[in-house]
Amino acid sequence: MGIMDDLKKTAGKLVRKNILEAPFVQEMCRTTANMYRLGWDERNGGNISCLLDEKEVAEYLDLNEVIRTIPTGFDASALIGRIFIVTGTGKYFKNVEYDPETNLGIIRIAKDGTTAELLWGYKDGGRFTSELPAHLMSHISRLAIDPAHRVVMHSHPTYTIAMNTVCPIDEKEFTHRLWQSNTESIVVFPDGVGILPCMVCGTNEIGEATAEKMKKFRLVVWTNHGIYGTGRDMDEAFGLIETVEKTAQIYMLSLGHAVNVIPDEILKGLAKRFDVTPLEGVLK
């Protein structure tokens, strides 16, 4: 390389901003810390992926510099060229804020649709979450419904999982019991909660099943495991999971003793007042 190329490269680096100060890195740090402290993400539990804007990422990284490539093991052709920030496999949410570059990675889906190009992070040689199939397939489902969709968030909130042990695997029944326990619920998730039966996690099969549910729901419960929330931003995905979990807590605390659940007439009134359309077939 000539001296001019060297100079250009140095100049390019100089104007680039510090990625650790990027809002999307900081938001991942804040969110994972929050989720850990809420008790939703023990050990290496949970994972988050967020679709990033290429122009914004280019303010921090040279998009021509691929650190290494990692095969994904499935076809994500619908996402070729898209860039995501993703939590790392085996990494603890409680540690992300202290070492984002090891615990997070920024990947771009390569032209073959089955390879991830690492642009930043996973500094210890690590890789993305084992639940990448569920994340990317869910992104594809949600983007088809809402081009503004950005975030897929997975977590193990305690009361939601507890509710699985006492409630049939029936998304209308599960949704109804939540709506009946807290007036906020029908307003926050009128579209209800999708449910998968207990399945082996980390596989393409659960990824495909999750993505299928995501064609209809922003929230999908994995029976005996946890929940997925999606949204246009971190607040929406987090707020959905937070509202389900709080409501599941109310449900579990009153289990067997409830004498004042919210009547369907009131649920219909709430839907009308807040101008939302409840999932069909839940209210009588």
DSSP of 84-149, one letter per residue?
EEEEBTT--HHHHTT-HHHHEEEEEE-TTSSEEEEEEE-TTS--B-TTHHHHHHHHHHHHHH-TT-
**Closest approach of ligand 2HA to the CB of residue 246, in Å:** 20
Contact between 45 and ligand 2HA by CB under 6 A: the answer reads yes
- What is the smallest separation between the CB atom of 117 and ligand 2HA, expressed in angstroms? 22
132 phi and psi angles, rounded to 5 deg = -55, -40
Alpha-carbon 35 to chain mean position: 12
Instruction: Name which position in 60, 121, 122, 131 contacts ligand 2HA (CB under 6 A).
Output: 131
From Zn ion, ligand 2HA, none, which one binds at residue 218 (CB under 5 to 8 Å depending on kind)?
none
Burial class (CB in 10 A: 0-12, 13-18, 19+), 124: exposed
In angstroms, what is the minimal distance from the CB of 166 to Zn ion? 20
Beta-sheet pairing, 104-109 with 115-121: antiparallel
Three-state secondary structure call for residue 213? helix
Cβ closest to Zn ion, residue 207 vs residue 226:
226
Out of 117, 131, 242, 245, the active site residue is 131
d(CA 194, CA 263): 22
- Eight-class DSSP state of 223: T
Find, among 49, 128, 108, 112, the residue nearest to 75 by Cα: 112
> Structure tokens of 76?
């994500």
Work out whether 129 is an interface residue with ligand 2HA (CB under 6 A).
Answer: yes
Nearer to ligand 2HA, 37 or 272 (CB): 37
Tell me: does residue 201 bind ligand 2HA (CB under 6 A). yes
In whole angstroms, the minimum distance from the beta carbon of 33 to ligand 2HA comes to 16
| Nearer residue to Zn ion within complex by CB, 133 or 226 | 226
Q: Residue 239 binds which entry of ligand 2HA, Zn ion, none, with Cβ cut-offs from 5 to 8 Å by kind?
A: none
**Footprint of ligand 2HA on residues 132-191 (CB under 6 A)?**
154
Stretch of 40-48, 98-106, 136-144, 274-282 contacting ligand 2HA, by CB under 6 A: 40-48
Q: Give catalytic status of residue 131 as yes or no.
A: yes
Q: Which of 44, 69, 102, 204 binds ligand 2HA (CB under 6 A)?
A: 44
What angle, 0 to 180 degrees and rounded to 10, lies between the N-to-C axes of helices 158-166 and 234-253? Answer: 50
Q: How far apart are CA 185 and CA 193, in angstroms?
A: 11
* Least distance CB 130 / ligand 2HA (angstroms): 6
For ligand 2HA, the binding residues (CB under 6 A) are 44-47, 129-131, 154, 201
